[in-house]
């Protein structure tokens, strides 16, 4: 076979491989950007959902504080128990008749203490999860930033070669 023909076939083979690799590189780069955008949107929705949930919990906490104040006022003689309206039939039924108020007070105190312990456990767990994920997210951000810098260095190395190739191809097509 003619040496120029062999050289041309090799050149065409290299060009074909380059076309495939450049196309794949462009597609993978665009896909990475799309995935990062989707991850940002997912993260924003997750954070909004969590802040909404925490706002709901804070509101319910305020309501619970107010309920504690009302009970304390009742026990301090601030209001007449008969004039207080209950929040539901279950509460009314529980206090009607000859209920042993001492037993109810003792059970309520124990129950509220248990609730406090449970709330503290859940609050500590939420703080622990937040700190754990915060560390993981911060580490991932550092690694993604480093990866982006490496990719940018590679792009800077590749860019002059692509410019040179585009010029040589343009000159070659002008000479034909």
Q: Which of 72, 98, 94, 70 is nearest to 84 (CA)?
A: 70
Confidence of residue 5 (pLDDT cuts 50, 70, 90): confident
pLDDT at 96: 53
Distance CA 149, CA 121 (A): 42
Question: What pTM does this model have?
Answer: 0.66
* Position 175 pLDDT exceeds 60: no
pLDDT at 11: 80
Q: Which helix (H) or strand (E) holds 51?
A: helix 3-75
* Position 157 pLDDT exceeds 80: yes
* Residue range 92-119: mean pLDDT, rounded: 83
């Amino acid at each position: 076979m003619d040496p120029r023909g062999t050289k041309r076939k090799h050149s065409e083979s290299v060009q074909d491989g380059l076309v495939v690799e450049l196309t794949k590189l462009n597609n993978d780069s665009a896909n990475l950007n799309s995935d990062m955008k989707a991850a940002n949107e997912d993260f924003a929705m997750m954070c909004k959902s969590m802040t909404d949930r925490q706002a709901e919990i804070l509101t319910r906490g305020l309501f619970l504080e107010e309920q504690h104040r009302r009970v304390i006022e009742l026990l301090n003689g601030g209001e007449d128990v008969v004039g207080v309206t209950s929040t539901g039939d279950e509460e009314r039924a529980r206090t009607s008749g000859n209920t042993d108020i001492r037993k109810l007070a003792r059970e309520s105190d124990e129950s509220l203490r248990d609730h406090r312990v449970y709330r503290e456990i859940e609050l500590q767990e939420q703080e622990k999860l937040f700190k754990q994920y915060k560390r993981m997210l911060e580490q991932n951000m550092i690694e993604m930033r480093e990866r982006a810098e490496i990719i940018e260095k590679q792009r800077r190395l590749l860019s002059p070669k692509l410019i040179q190739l585009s010029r040589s191809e343009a000159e070659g097509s002008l000479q034909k």
